[in-house]
Structure formats: structure tokens, C-alpha cells
Amino acid sequence: MAEEVKLFGTWTSPYSRRIELALKLKGIPFQYIEEDLSNKSPQLLKYNPVHKMVPVLVHNGKPITESQIILEYIDETWKNNPFLPQDPYQRAMARFWAKFIDEKVKAAEMKAKSVEGKEIELVVEEFFEEMKFLENELKGKDFFGGETIGFVDIVANIVAFFFTVTQQAVGVEAFTPEKFPVLFKWIGKITEIDVVNECRPPREKHLAYVKAVIEGFKSAPK
Amino acid sequence: MAEEVKLFGTWTSPYSRRIELALKLKGIPFQYIEEDLSNKSPQLLKYNPVHKMVPVLVHNGKPITESQIILEYIDETWKNNPFLPQDPYQRAMARFWAKFIDEKVKAAEMKAKSVEGKEIELVVEEFFEEMKFLENELKGKDFFGGETIGFVDIVANIVAFFFTVTQQAVGVEAFTPEKFPVLFKWIGKITEIDVVNECRPPREKHLAYVKAVIEGFKSAPK
């Protein structure tokens, strides 16, 4: 049977961009469908009736949702260029850091929505304090996955391309090469990989989008 | 090398109780260490410096944290009585429902802490509305895992032994055999398994504990 792979995503979502990256790293041809989250398509609602969110990967008609679950599915289905290590302990560690990143980002988003006006700066600063665990984890390695890009690197791509834009939009300088030398060295490394750059939104357009979202948080009724 | 398996847990935590259950289902001997979360041991803080929480599994000196990550580690390390199916799509579906359960429980806890007085009843009722997805998923099957207890059943054990106690403590009747016939039939099925019952807190003691927690939420400053 010919493989049919479709990805429903949106250009601003680090979660769907990481699935694009994973498919490209594995060399899997796929059809990309851009969703407008303010006017979700009937297909998206059909394929993800529980969360109604992107990303959704549809493989030979079967939908898979939740970005980290999709990454594991891709890694188990197409065995070339493995994302996760073989050793069960190393796999557990990779899953731990991937979960850490997504949970902390989500928690910061929730907090940012609930605070008033300029308090959002404190949320961003607090968030970067927590990212010191990640800086520490990466010490002495080129990639989280060791010598090459792996599961945690794909997830942590959110650090490289979304954190700097977010702090610029908020107007803080919490994430700098002086404070995070190891993470910035790693950003340099993954930026050398062509497919990584292909899965990155254009910076100015992205910055304008994030600024609009933050203004929305600030002015929303609490 | 002789295997050394230690579990740091607490009797009220569905997350550490599920690891006890997993180890017992696999027939793995282990040492259980009860933690007092109001006075955490130096060992717990050493093994889980990021989250400082139970459960922590320590296998031959190496710590693993986060209950679902521990379950995957156990399943990958001891291959008998597999928890996850072999097929990548079925594995993705199991991970999806396990994540769904834990995220919804956590979100309900967060909401319960933020609302005033009796509004907590609404949070619990809303939560059970979302559990209808789970009821639907289980239709036509004895267990989430199919014919026998598996990954989602171990995670969903929180439904069986914690939801009924929680709603009794809050004083609502949202989770009933009339509204959730499939889940209640499943509770009957897993209650026939001895090791499942061994990993369940004594009901009256548990109810008193949950009531105290809820009172704490209600009277906490917002």
C-alpha cells in the first residue's frame, strides 16, 4: 500500500512545527494542511474530536494527536534515523526532559493569561529561571540526544525559535548568551541543520504575531 | 548483578500507587519507602531535584520520575506481561488516553484550588462531563487494553479508586453507574484482580484524607 501521510498544523505552533521537522528528519513525504484556528476545518474536528487542536498526523487514514505522542509514533513506525535511544533508562531521561519543557511552557502560558498588565514580565523571568535545569542537563553535550539531533532536541526546538521571540515581544532580557551559554551554543549547532531552519517561522512575521497574542493576554478580562 | 528496585511513594497518591501496581503485575520484587510530603526525605530530594515529588523508582541506583514515564520504563525493562500493545498505532492510542486522564485530573485540581467555597462542586461536575470521552472509548471492551489489564487500565485505576472517594468528599453524585455504565462495569472487572486491590488505600481512611484536602482548598486564601 502506498503510504499516505497528512499533517494538519499551523505556522505559529511550535507543536506542529516539530512534527514537520520530525517528518523531514526521517525523510517521509507528507501533505501539509494549514489550519486556521479561528475557523477550524471539519476535517480537524473529525480527526481530533477530544482536543480539537493541531497538530494531527493522519497516516493511511488513521489520526494521531498530541505532538510528543506523534513523535513516538513516527519513531516507532519509520525506524531510520531513530529519535529515541535504545537503552530504557536513556529513553526515560529523554521523555522526562521533553515533558519538562512542554509542561513548563504550558504553565507559563496559563500564568501569563491570568496576571495583570506588566506582571507578565515576571512570569517570563520566572520561566527562564526554571530553564536553568535544561541548561544544566545539556552541559558537556553537543545535542540533548548526544552527538546528533534526537527526541529532546526536536521538542526543545521551541527554546531556539520561540523563546527569543517571546521575550522580545514581552520586552525582557532573561534569555541571553551570558546567562545560558550552553543553550545558546546548542542553538548555534541546530541552526546549522537545514531542515531545522525550514521548520521555523519567518522572524519578523512571527514577532508581530506573538506581540499581538501578548497584547491579547494583557487586555483580556480576568 | 542482583536487581535492586526501590519505590518512593505515598499511600494517598494515585501516581505512586500505580507504580506499585505495575511492579506487582510484572512480579518484580521491590522495596517500598513511604514519604511524608510535608517533610520530604533527603533521598527524595536527591533523586528528584527538579520536581521533588513522588513517585520515584530507583533501579540499581538510577532514579526515574514521572509516573507514566516510569510505567514505560518498567514495560521496556521487564518484558513479561506487556502493558503497551506492539502495534505503533495502538501504542499511540494508549498513550493518548493515559495522557488525557492525567491532564484532566490535574486541570480539575488546579481549578478546585482557585474557586471559592461551594463552586468546587461545579468543578467536579464539569470534570465528570469530560470523562464521558473515556466512557465512550471503553465501550465494547472488558479493559482499555482489550482482553487484559494494560497501560491505560493502570493509569485509569485513578478512576476506580479515587473518583468515587473524591465525589463523596465533595458531596456530589456526578459519577454513578447510571451515567457511566461502561466505566462501572470495568471497575467491577478490575476489582476482581487481587493486586489491584492491594494497591488501593483503605476507603474510610482515604475518605477522611480527601475531605481534609478539600477543606484546605475551600479555606485557602485565593
Q: Residue B152 is part of a domain; what is its CATH number?
A: 1.20.1050.10
- Measured between CA atoms, the residue of chain A closest to residue B65 is A96
Q: List the domain range (segments joined by +) for residue B141.
A: 88-219
Greatest Cα-to-Cα distance within chain A, rounded to the nearest angstrom:
55
Chain B residues with CB under 8 Å of A65 CB are 96
A132 domain-assigned: yes
Q: What pLDDT is attached to residue A194? A: 95
Q: What pLDDT is attached to residue A222? A: 66
Nearest-Cα distance to chain A for B89, in Å, is 7
Q: Is the dihedral of CA B113, B116, B118, B123 positive or negative?
A: negative
Q: What pLDDT is attached to residue B113? A: 79
For residues B59-66, give the mean pLDDT.
98
**Residue B131 pLDDT exceeds 60:** yes
Distance CA B94, CA A124 (A): 34
Q: The CATH number of the domain where A69 resides is what?
A: 3.40.30.10
Same-domain pairing of A72 and A20: yes
Bridge-based pairing state of the strands A5-9 and A56-59: antiparallel
Residue bearing the bigger pLDDT, B100 or A215: B100
Q: What pLDDT is attached to residue B164? A: 85
Same-domain pairing of B117 and B169: yes
Q: What pLDDT is attached to residue B119? A: 85
- Measured between CA atoms, the residue of chain B closest to residue A137 is B50
- Closest Cβ opposite residue A50 in set B62, B65, B100: B100
Nearest to B135 by CA among B89, B179, B189, B196: B179
Cβ A70–B92 below 8 Å, yes or no?
yes
Distance CA A54, CA A32 (A): 12
**Residue B219 pLDDT exceeds 80:** no
B126 domain-assigned: yes
Q: What pLDDT is attached to residue B111? A: 85
Cβ B69–A77 below 8 Å, yes or no?
no
Nearest-Cα distance to chain B for A205, in Å, is 32
A82 domain-assigned: no
Bridge-based pairing state of the strands A5-9 and A31-34: parallel
* Domain boundary, last residue among B77, B99, B127: B77
Chain B residues with CB under 8 Å of A100 CB are 50
**Residue B65 pLDDT exceeds 70:** yes
Same-domain pairing of A134 and A63: no
CA B135 to chain centre: 17
Q: Are A155 and A16 in contact (CB under 8 A)?
A: no
Same-domain pairing of B93 and B160: yes
B35 domain-assigned: yes
Same-domain pairing of A27 and A98: no
The position carrying cell 479561528 is: A38
Per-residue cell: B176: 454513578
* Domain boundary, last residue among A77, A106, A128: A77
B186 domain-assigned: yes
How many CB pairs lie under 8 A apart between chains A and B? 52
Cβ B95–A89 below 8 Å, yes or no?
no
Q: What percent of chain B has pLDDT over 70?
A: 99
Same-domain pairing of A10 and A116: no
Residue ranges of chain A with pLDDT lower than 50?
Answer: none
**Residue B174 pLDDT exceeds 90:** no
Same-domain pairing of A200 and A124: yes
Count of domains forming chain A: 2
**Residue B186 pLDDT exceeds 90:** yes
Assign B120 a pLDDT band (cuts: 50, 70, 90).
Answer: confident
A135 domain-assigned: yes
B144 domain-assigned: yes
Same-domain pairing of B21 and B110: no
CA A174 to chain centre: 19
- Measured between CA atoms, the residue of chain A closest to residue B101 is A50
For chain A, which residues lie within 8 Å of any Cβ of chain B, measuring from their own Cβ? 50, 59, 62, 64-66, 69-70, 72-73, 76-77, 88-89, 91-92, 95-96, 99-100, 133
B143 domain-assigned: yes
Same-domain pairing of B11 and B51: yes
Three-state DSSP state, B143 = strand
Report how far apart, in Å, the C-alpha atoms of B8 and of each of A158, B62, B102 are. 32, 13, 20
The ipTM is: 0.94
- Own/partner pairs for B29-32, CB < 8 Å, 24+ apart? B29/B3, B29/B5, B30/B5, B30/B6, B31/B4, B31/B5, B31/B6, B31/B7, B32/B6, B32/B7
For residues B124-141, give the mean pLDDT.
92
* Domain boundary, last residue among B38, B56, B77: B77
Measured CA angle at A97 (ends A94, A101), to 5 deg: 140
